Structure 1
């Protein structure tokens, strides 16, 4: 079938299913998105939604979004900001000065020096866009970026979109993790293995220095951080320190940029208002670092999205200004730790070992004792994945609780280490967690 040129020019690419076969082959996606399998968030959330639509009640403890609103003083600030003309227009690409000043006031005591709000802080559309900006600002085609495994899945695509190559260094699980409750601190990094991963092409290290290695909840010790940092100084490698859960820690926590002046000068710290104030949908994040680092990450941010949501920036600024007076940081940490401890009681009842986190709101549970019925049917996009995907599907359909399979955070070579685990998020109302515990007790029939 031959079509005239004028018709070819006016065929909309959004409807390729109606095109003749020879034209469909012309619609070629970029390699960075063409080969991606269906992501874990879609699989779990769609399965939970389908089960709910069919009449089952499913409690979603999968994706880490909060089941409750931000504190009232932050909500009030957002509502008031919407009534202001300047808060409904573009903010400066670097972010509203009030927010940058509030971040300087809030974080300077932790960093041990006065942060310059005009040169050392840039506001981003969530921490994820901030990290993409850091990659775009410093990583070029062929550069290598070291990522610790298990990893937050967004790191991988962000590095690759910048043209970089991901080099993986594993955290090793506790030897008795399948039989005993362990601390997240028992997941260990082999520093010699880390150094062997460094080459002349290594440009950056993505470090979950925050109190919540996703999905483990590990808080790296000062000694571990210093070992990584000193290697980065030795080889002149930039550090992207993901500290989005820097207010939710239950063990001593050291910020990467405070380890030494030399490490500080190589470190870009990423933060998140969404995690701090229970508002993941607001998409307000930031990068903190020396002016020569923020300058180029900020330049990339300008080209990615120009500026971030103005009224919510204003609300976050007010939230940071008032949080200490409201006693919010301490109450937030205390309440989340209480949720974690109460929820984990069900695993002790069931005799299922778990990793007790030192920060954040995720818990990894080892399900190797759970025996799914012989011949249980899974859809092809689940049956072709590791056992934890099948466990996740089984829990949604038969138990009524959704959890995330953590092999999504591993390379294929190492996914065996996680195939018996599931990740649960406890950032939900207490009654929801209690209802989930009651459902999970049905696992006794399969142990």
Structure 2
């Protein structure tokens, strides 16, 4: 190959050097290759530029916790992520085993869900709604509650529409809304004034209705409610829900009511859709088999709403994943059919409250305040009294984050115990509200909770 051909790609970068010097082939070829590769990489980067909704390179809380656990010299007890430490009840497991042997249960289900499951949900939920829910037009089955909420956003939110979310929030809300082109508008749930020093009920986390009303604009398309709330454990009162619902009726705003912990409540629980026909006309209620039956990995969820809402959720769900896992839908249908016979709902609530009480004994022993939950299986603990050693070298992923991330890292490294820093569920502007808290999940075996309590006693020397 003539030398001038080899040199030509270099002309625009160093013309004087190229003209003045006759470089040997062994010097030129690596240089040409490197420059060509650089140009190709730049061109490729332009072509594969990621969408803004997934472009962030900041490590999420799950990656940080898992990295810290992997680097710990201790075997780490995980009270961070909210998965159960035990199996679903036998009558549900047996239903799943049996469903796997049936040909029709191993093939596509109707996109809106298996008729048996929709009927079982109608039978189970109709008493709460005070009327018969139509399984054909008012219920759709989704691949977990999260996909159900994405389907709701995809069904109604377009570019520039605003969706109101309360802080702290379940983090998936944000990405799901933004994927539709929606804009998230935040309204705070204010923590108890004495939360740093006293144990307070979750109901002391308050929503100021005037603040919510001030965030409503002509672009407001939807509001998201979560009750029982993750991570606070707050069950919204009927008075609070009625005020929210009336604002939505006044402004024609759709309500997405995330009620995935609806079988785990320890104070009176109200479903917003039941407050008035006008509010029900605007409400989509979200449910979760994973939370109900201890099987978060099964990914079976549902939405309930009037036909004029559900048909668009179903249309979006069809485009997202067409249909959801068939044999597990059948198993959940049977579980719902048999739950009352096994007194499962009462037992599951009693068991979870007992676990909550058992675990929270350690905070009373240590004199550390916490938020006493109204529902769900998370407890927020205020660790303002814990003094972090000054000589700790924080990893890059933690050193510039709020104090709760440092508390989280410290507990993993020092005690071998993982929790979740709740400022992950806040905007940067408002994260100071929760920087002294950590979230613990109590949906574990009693032996695991007892082992965690023993490790937490190690905090005494840091107080």
TM-score, length-scaled by structure 1: 0.94
8 Å CA contact 1:178–1:353 kept in 2: the answer is yes
Select the residue among 147, 152, 158 that pairs with 1:134. 152
Measured after TM superposition, the shift of residue 364 of structure 1 is: 0.4
1:36 and 1:284 mapped to 2: Cα distance? 30
**Partner-residue secondary structure (3-state), 1:414:** helix
| Residue 17 to residue 103, structure 1, CA distance change in 2 (3 Å) | farther
Measured after TM superposition, the shift of residue 184 of structure 1 is: 0.2
Select the residue among 131, 136, 139 that pairs with 1:121. 139
Match of 2:95 in 1: 77
Match of 2:31 in 1: none
Measured after TM superposition, the shift of residue 42 of structure 1 is: 1.6
Select the residue among 30, 48, 64 that pairs with 1:43. 64
Match of 1:370 in 2: 386
**Partner-residue secondary structure (3-state), 1:271:** strand
Q: Deviations over 1:219-257 (max 9, x none)?
A: 010000000000000000000000000000000000011
Measured after TM superposition, the shift of residue 266 of structure 1 is: 0.2
Match of 2:14 in 1: none
2:95 and 2:214 mapped to 1: Cα distance? 49
Correspondence 1:32 to 2:50:
no
Match of 1:430 in 2: 446
Match of 2:130 in 1: 112
1:214 and 1:385 mapped to 2: Cα distance? 21
Match of 2:15 in 1: none
Aligned pairs for 1:274-313 within 5 A: 274-313=290-329
Aligned pairs for 1:50-199 within 5 A: 50-51=71-72, 55-199=73-217
2:384 and 2:261 mapped to 1: Cα distance? 29
Aligned pairs for 1:381-396 within 5 A: 381-396=397-412
Q: Deviations over 1:320-377 (max 9, x none)?
A: 0000000000000000000001100000111110000000000000011101111201
**Partner-residue secondary structure (3-state), 1:413:** helix
Correspondence 1:267 to 2:283:
yes
Measured after TM superposition, the shift of residue 56 of structure 1 is: 1.1
Q: List, as ranges, runs of 4+ consecutive aligned residues in structure 1 with deviation greater than 6 Å.
A: 16-19
2:248 and 2:92 mapped to 1: Cα distance? 38
Match of 1:9 in 2: none
1:148 and 1:22 mapped to 2: Cα distance? 41
**Partner-residue secondary structure (3-state), 1:128:** helix
Measured after TM superposition, the shift of residue 445 of structure 1 is: 0.9
Correspondence 1:421 to 2:442:
no
1:306 and 1:172 mapped to 2: Cα distance? 40
Measured after TM superposition, the shift of residue 49 of structure 1 is: 3.0
Correspondence 1:242 to 2:258:
yes
Match of 2:343 in 1: 327
Match of 1:440 in 2: 456
Measured after TM superposition, the shift of residue 26 of structure 1 is: 3.1
8 Å CA contact 1:120–1:288 kept in 2: the answer is yes
Measured after TM superposition, the shift of residue 23 of structure 1 is: 3.0
Larger Rg: 2
2:184 and 2:109 mapped to 1: Cα distance? 34
1:18 and 1:92 mapped to 2: Cα distance? 49
* Unaligned 5+ runs, structure 2: 1-5, 10-36
**Partner-residue secondary structure (3-state), 2:146:** helix
Measured after TM superposition, the shift of residue 50 of structure 1 is: 3.1
Match of 2:13 in 1: none
**Partner-residue secondary structure (3-state), 1:90:** coil
**Partner-residue secondary structure (3-state), 2:58:** coil
Match of 1:6 in 2: none
| Residue 17 to residue 357, structure 1, CA distance change in 2 (3 Å) | farther
Q: Deviations over 1:134-184 (max 9, x none)?
A: 000000100000001110000000000011000000011100000000000
Match of 1:11 in 2: none
**Partner-residue secondary structure (3-state), 2:429:** coil
**Partner-residue secondary structure (3-state), 2:309:** helix
The more displaced of 102-111 and 373-382 is 373-382
How many residue pairs were aligned? 429
2:357 and 2:70 mapped to 1: Cα distance? 28
8 Å CA contact 1:17–1:24 kept in 2: the answer is no
2:223 and 2:38 mapped to 1: Cα distance? 42
1:262 and 1:147 mapped to 2: Cα distance? 21
